[in-house]
Amino acid sequence: MRRIIKVKYHLLILIIEITILLLALFLAYNFISMPSKKTTFYLKDNTLETLLNTLDKEGYPTYAIDKYVLKYITLPKKGWYSLDGDKKGRFQFFKSLYTKKSKTMHIKIYAGETSWELTQRLANDLKLNAQKLLKSYKSQSVYDEADIFSGQYELARDVDENTSITFLLEQSHNILDHFIEKNYHKEPKLLEIKILLIIASIIQKESNSIEEMPLIASVIYNRINKNMKLQMDGTLNYGKYAHTIVTPERIKTDESEYNTYKHKGIPPSPLGTVSIEALEAAYHPKISNYLFFMLKKDGSHQFAETYKEHLKNVRAFKSKSNDNNQSKIKILKHLKKSKVSS
């Protein structure tokens, strides 16, 4: 009997010691504090690996033991999170992390925007510094322009300049990766993608019509294959000239490689932001013999295979425009007469 009591006593002591040890370990773990700073970051998924990598990247050091602790804690889901900088124990920090979701807003990136225009508008929408945004874009971009695809994105309202650009670039790289995975059997070279983005940006400048984009692409490739100059106004809408009207004087005086009236081939860099539809058109041009196109009054384009046919289309357009102008003049004269007689 004494032996049984002695064994039970020693077992009880062992349990108490283990409990104290575990409690001491928990307290020691909890005292490994996280930095007290305000931070906003994005989690691309709710996996343990993504969470730990993101925290490390944001300046919140993590350790091997965190993996075991986080197995028993609710992990934050995909999305934006903001940490308020309050001092917390390590266990409490992880336990409350899933509740720290940020308030977000939707922003739109328009096709045809330059990086300068994009960052200016983003600065206005998010109340950020435009110069810092542009600097962050330039330091992280690969192609100078067209690194961010047009479309709608969700950003945290309290995001900073660097994090916002990083997020937009990562989301756009995901779009590009999906495009590559769908269309290429092996990883293309950066130059190959750059050329495709340049052509997509020309298509984007010439037309916003998804139906017309493959036809515009066919004209570009057909002219290149025939060693012809592209002679497209859209290529002169680069940099500070992004949304300026291309005049005959501008065509004569612009000596840059963007002037496809003077230089053969494509411009040296993309002209601005592109849509995924323009990129698809650049990769999958329509099979045609078209070498020319002209803008019609309704915003669509008329295509032609020969210069003779193109000139005929131009003359018909001008004749129709003159007829319309004459009709307007007659109506105005009639209105004036009616006003005088009354």
Helix axes 161-183 and 276-283, enclosed angle (nearest 10): 30
Give Cβ neighbours of residue 61 (< 8 Å, ≥ 6 apart). 34, 55
List Cα–Cα distances, 73 to 83, 87, 190, 273, in angstroms. 18, 19, 42, 42
The pLDDT of 165-187, averaged and rounded, is 95
Give 120-148 pLDDT, tens digit per residue. Answer: 999 999 999 999 999 999 999 999 899 99
pLDDT, position 71 = 85
pTM higher than the cut 0.95:
no
Q: Identify the pLDDT of residue 298.
A: 82
pLDDT for 328 equals: 45
pLDDT computed for residue 63 by the predictor: 84
Mean pLDDT over each residue of the chain, to the nearest integer: 85
Percent of the chain beyond pLDDT 90? 61
Question: 91 falls in which pLDDT band (50, 70, 90)?
Answer: confident
What is the structure's pLDDT at 70? 86
At 183-241, the pLDDT tens digits run: 999 999 999 999 999 999 999 999 989 999 999 999 999 999 999 999 999 999 999 99
Write out pLDDT tens, residues 272-314: 999 999 999 999 999 999 999 988 888 889 899 998 888 888 8
Tell me how long the chain is.
Answer: 342
> pLDDT (tens digit, 9 = 90+) per residue, 246-257?
999 999 999 999
Q: Cα(149)–Cα(125) distance, rounded to whole angstroms?
A: 18
When pLDDT is averaged across residues 155-184 and rounded to a whole number, the result is 95
- Residue 320: per-residue pLDDT: 58
pLDDT at 340: 44
Say whether pLDDT at 31 is over 70.
no
Is a pLDDT exceeding 50 seen at residue 342? no
Locate tokens 């925007």: which residue?
Answer: 113
Q: Is the pLDDT of residue 338 over 60?
A: no
Q: Give residue for tokens 């007829």.
A: 323
Max mean pLDDT range (6-20, 107-121, 320-334): 107-121
Helices (H), the chain: 2-30, 48-57, 64-70, 90-95, 115-126, 130-140, 161-183, 190-206, 213-225, 248-253, 276-283, 307-341
- pLDDT score recorded for residue 68: 83
What b/e readout covers 219-254, taking b as 16+ CB neighbours within 10 angstroms? bbebbeeeeeebebbbbbbbeebbeeebeeeeeeeb
Q: How many whole angstroms separate alpha carbon 40 and alpha carbon 81?
A: 6
Among residues 77, 54, 84, 68, the alpha carbon closest in space to that of 26 is found at: 68
